[in-house]
């Protein structure tokens, strides 16, 4: 009996020693554990910006301003056409922006075939990249929440604040309403801009009247978007937008002679009454509507994001508040993109 007990004791000791030596690390088992808690892991903020031919300097300045004013983990999705991608990639990789995290995404304009009505009044508004915002889920695969920015913006605040914008349940996107700033009202009066649905949709058309939207309803500006990709896909937002693009081709429901952009009108229709709001200071608009109208310097210093929507861009002449834009501009290493200035 004693010999049997001794043998069992030896076997037990050997088994313990074997397990110590050959123990499988916990991280390789099915019961994996994170080395960092969710609170400690840094969230990635995806920011989508287009790099169009002839205005790549705008995209570069926008990216530069975002990167310089945040400690957040930003991933830039830079969207371009096949012919422009090599230029923007070279610009970034041969400047101080080479440290940013970015992906270059090619946009195929064939997805727009038969969906854009030709309009000669402002042909630049029909450029394919103006419609990239319609196709965010096709370009961005792994992110739940995405920021889209027009290229003619400068970000003076921490982009984390914009990303933290709360979207109400069931809302696929957040925008800035065009009736939200007293100073905006003053500028609208001075340059005759539209800030209601009447300025974007043709209410003489029955299809527009059938929407039941009052023409005096405040519009919103889709140059800055915080989007929820799950809701976007669930509500088939892209399909809805394409439907109104096709109807416009057939019925001429809106045009660039109205609100100044054929990409805004279908979004006004699809998102009416179904979008959240962005903090007004995170989208100060209309800096490009007139070469004369100006905001106060104090107001602009407090602004988080400046947008030169309109004809008068800060890389061209004439334009206003160009000094604020040039603070973030990085010259083109290839020398192809040049600023237009009175003395140039």
Q: What is the CATH number of the domain that holds 125?
A: 3.90.550.10
> Quick check: is 29 in a domain?
no
Looking at the 3D structure of the chain, how many domains does it have? 1
> What pLDDT is recorded for position 203?
92
Give mean pLDDT, residues 89-99: 96
**Higher confidence at residue 43 or residue 34?**
43
- Contact partners, residue 49, CB within 8 Å, separation at least 6: 59, 62, 63, 76, 77, 78, 79, 149, 151
Q: How far is residue 302's CA from residue 181's CA, in Å, rounded to a whole number?
A: 13
> What pLDDT is recorded for position 292?
85
Place 117 in a pLDDT band, splitting at 50, 70 and 90: confident
pLDDT at position 316 over 70: yes
> What pLDDT is recorded for position 38?
43
Residue 289 has a CB neighbour count (10 Å cut-off) of: 21
> What pLDDT is recorded for position 254?
87
> What pLDDT is recorded for position 199?
86
Considering only CA atoms, which of 85, 74, 175, 81 is closest in space to residue 132? 81
Determine which helix (DSSP H) or strand (DSSP E) holds 177, and give its type and residue range. Answer: strand 173-177
Q: How far is residue 52's CA from residue 49's CA, in Å, rounded to a whole number?
A: 10
pLDDT tens for each residue of 260-313: 568 999 999 999 999 999 999 999 988 998 898 778 889 999 999 999 998 899
> Quick check: is 67 in a domain?
yes
Give CA angle at 337 (335, 340), nearest 5°: 115
Of the given ranges (16-25, 104-113, 153-162, 259-268), which has the lowest mean pLDDT? 16-25
> What pLDDT is recorded for position 33?
31
Range of the domain at 81: 45-182+220-235+274-327
What percent of the chain is modeled with pLDDT above 90? 69
What percent of the chain is modeled with pLDDT above 70? 79
> What pLDDT is recorded for position 262?
82
> What pLDDT is recorded for position 282?
97
Which tokens go with 88? 């923007």
Residue 298 has a CB neighbour count (10 Å cut-off) of: 8
> Quick check: is 130 in a domain?
yes
**Higher confidence at residue 99 or residue 181?**
99
pLDDT at position 210 over 90: yes
Of the given ranges (14-28, 77-91, 201-215, 323-337), which has the lowest mean pLDDT? 14-28
pLDDT at position 195 over 90: no
> Quick check: is 342 in a domain?
no
pLDDT at position 53 over 90: yes
Place 184 in a pLDDT band, splitting at 50, 70 and 90: low
Considering only CA atoms, which of 104, 94, 92 is closest in space to residue 67? 92
Residue 185 has a CB neighbour count (10 Å cut-off) of: 13
> Quick check: is 89 in a domain?
yes
Give mean pLDDT, residues 176-193: 62
Average pLDDT over the chain, rounded to an integer: 86
> What pLDDT is recorded for position 343?
84
**Higher confidence at residue 125 or residue 46?**
46
Per-position DSSP letters for 187-218, written without gaps between them: HHHHHT---BGGGTS-TTSHHHHTTT--TTSB
> Quick check: is 15 in a domain?
no
> Quick check: is 318 in a domain?
yes
> What pLDDT is recorded for position 7?
62
**Higher confidence at residue 230 or residue 29?**
230
> What pLDDT is recorded for position 119?
65
> Quick check: is 286 in a domain?
yes
> What pLDDT is recorded for position 281?
94
pLDDT tens for each residue of 80-93: 999 999 999 999 99
Give mean pLDDT, residues 185-212: 79
């Amino acid at each position: 009996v004693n010999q049997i007990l001794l043998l069992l004791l030896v076997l037990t000791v050997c088994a313990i020693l074997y397990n110590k030596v050959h123990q499988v690390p916990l991280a390789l088992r099915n019961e994996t554990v994170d080395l960092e808690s969710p609170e400690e892991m840094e969230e990635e903020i995806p920011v989508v910006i287009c790099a169009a031919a002839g205005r790549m300097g705008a995209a570069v300045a926008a990216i530069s301003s975002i990167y310089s004013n945040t400690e957040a983990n930003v991933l830039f999705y830079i969207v371009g056409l096949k012919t422009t991608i090599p230029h923007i990639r070279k610009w970034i990789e041969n400047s101080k922006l080479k440290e940013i995290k970015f992906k270059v995404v090619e946009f195929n304009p064939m997805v727009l075939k038969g969906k854009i009505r030709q309009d000669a009044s402002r042909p630049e508004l029909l450029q394919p990249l103006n419609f990239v915002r319609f196709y965010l889920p096709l370009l961005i695969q792994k992110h739940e929440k995405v920021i889209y920015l027009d290229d003619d913006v400068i970000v003076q605040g921490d982009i984390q604040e914009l990303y933290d914008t709360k979207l109400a349940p069931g809302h696929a996107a957040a925008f800035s309403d065009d009736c939200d700033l007293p100073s905006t009202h003053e500028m609208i009066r001075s340059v005759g801009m539209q800030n209601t649905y009447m300025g974007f949709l043709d209410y003489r058309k029955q299809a527009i009247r059938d929407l039941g939207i009052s023409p005096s309803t405040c519009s919103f500006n889709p140059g800055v978007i915080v989007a929820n990709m799950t809701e976007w896909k669930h509500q088939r937002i892209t399909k809805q937008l394409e439907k109104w693009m096709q109807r416009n081709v057939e019925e001429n429901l809106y045009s660039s002679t109205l609100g100044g952009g054929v990409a805004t009108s279908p979004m006004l229709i699809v998102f009416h009454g179904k979008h959240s709001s962005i903090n007004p200071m995170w989208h100060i608009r209309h800096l490009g509507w007139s070469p004369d109208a100006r905001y106060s310097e104090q107001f602009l210093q407090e602004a988080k994001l400046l947008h030169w929507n309109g004809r008068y861009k800060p890389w061209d002449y004439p334009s206003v508040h160009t000094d604020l834009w040039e603070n973030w501009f990085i010259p083109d290493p290839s020398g192809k993109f040049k600023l237009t200035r009175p003395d140039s």
